[in-house]
Amino acid sequence: MSENTVPVFMHIDMDAFFASVEQHDHPEYRGKPVIVGGLPGDRRAVVSTASYEARRFGVHSAMPLFKAVSLCPNAVFVRGNMKRYSEVSQTIMDIFADYSPTVIQMSIDEAFIDTTGTERLFGPPQVLAAKIKERVMQATGLTVSIGIASTMYVAKIASGFRKPNGLTLIPSGDEEKFMTSLPLEKVWGAGTKTIAHIKNAGIRTTAQLRDKSLASLTTIFGNCTGTFLYNAMRGNKEMKFCDDPQNRSLSAESTYEFDLTDRYTIETALMQLAQTVIWRMHRAGVRSKTVSLKIRYEDFTTVSVQETSDSPVANADDLYERCRRLLQKKYQDGRGIRLLGIACEKVESKDLPSQGELFNSRNEKLSIVEKAIFEMESKNPALKLRKARLIEAEQNTLSHHGRNG
């Protein structure tokens, strides 16, 4: 990319994804409020996704199901079908890959695409976005909303601007104007506690927030939160694609709608991230001996810790255990976690000779099984094999799957 090239990022978000799949597969559900997450009477169930018809009654994702039943008792309630949702998601992700080699799937229902420099092939960004929307509709019968901007952060917010079936382009140079047109609640990454803190400081609009100097914001909110808000208001909140080969690392991270506090949930989130990173390493044909963990707390304080071992990461279980040890070293019990990220640093080709590897029969067997599963899934994308703990997490919507739609 030349110095004068303006980056073009798309953030594509599927509209009320789980509920939309149910309405597509069951024509009798169309036009009715559909709530995915459980059946009336299911204890401890939470709403995964609510159709737009259900949202008119005040139902939203992560709401306890019993409350959704009281708000919308005549809705269609379904427990959900993750296998089916994964199949549809893979179909859509494959479409994205036809238009850019750089696609980062953030969750089952959203992805970033770097379309910088593709205008000669596919036309202006709006034309390409319309083409992607048309292909998704033809292949799945579903709508998506697309945000286009010169930064990933602004593209992410823009994709939710005209939902459902929206397309919003923020021209380069208009990022700050766009950000200051939003209500405070639309500042992505600022949770309810941060918004309350902003309002308690006498700031009522994003324009007022933008007018505050960096020094003022860091004095009021602390260095981490203040810096985040200062950059966000200017549309230049830095985000990076995870698989930048120049960084010689492979990583994955997730931002959670609700802060993670109990150990089991946090460790399950680590397991999900470990599986994502290992699959990317299989795909890239690389290995790594260095693992890092990033934790961002609810006040935007971010800490990280790294460990280098004598032997390369063998498989997803091995990566998970290494990250769990790092968590035990660094996590402050009881603090709410907003974001978790793990990375395998200093990756190298698996074909290179490696010094200091110790034979571990269990890890060797797990690696062979894992590689076989990866090859099976590569040949048949509809096939999804996961640990029971991760299936349970998906059903309980641990991650932000389908949360905004």
Closest by Cα among 149, 207, 147 to 173? 149
3-state helix, strand, coil in the chain (%, to 5): 45, 20, 40
User: In what side-by-side order are the strands of the sheet with 290-297?
Assistant: 250-260, 337-345, 290-297, 302-308
Work out the number of other CB atoms within 10 angstroms of the CB of residue 238: 8
What is the per-residue DSSP string for 92-109?
Answer: HHHHHHTT-S-EEEEETT
Region label for 308, one of left (φ > 0), alpha (ψ between -120 and 50) or beta (otherwise): beta
Give the rounded distance of the alpha carbon of 276 from its chain centre.
Answer: 12
Beta-strand relationship, 76-78 and 110-114: unpaired
Q: What is the rounded CA–CA span in Å between residue 326 and residue 30?
A: 47
Active site (catalytic) residues: 110
Q: Are 52 and 198 in contact (CB under 8 A)?
A: no
Work out the number of other CB atoms within 10 angstroms of the CB of residue 345: 17
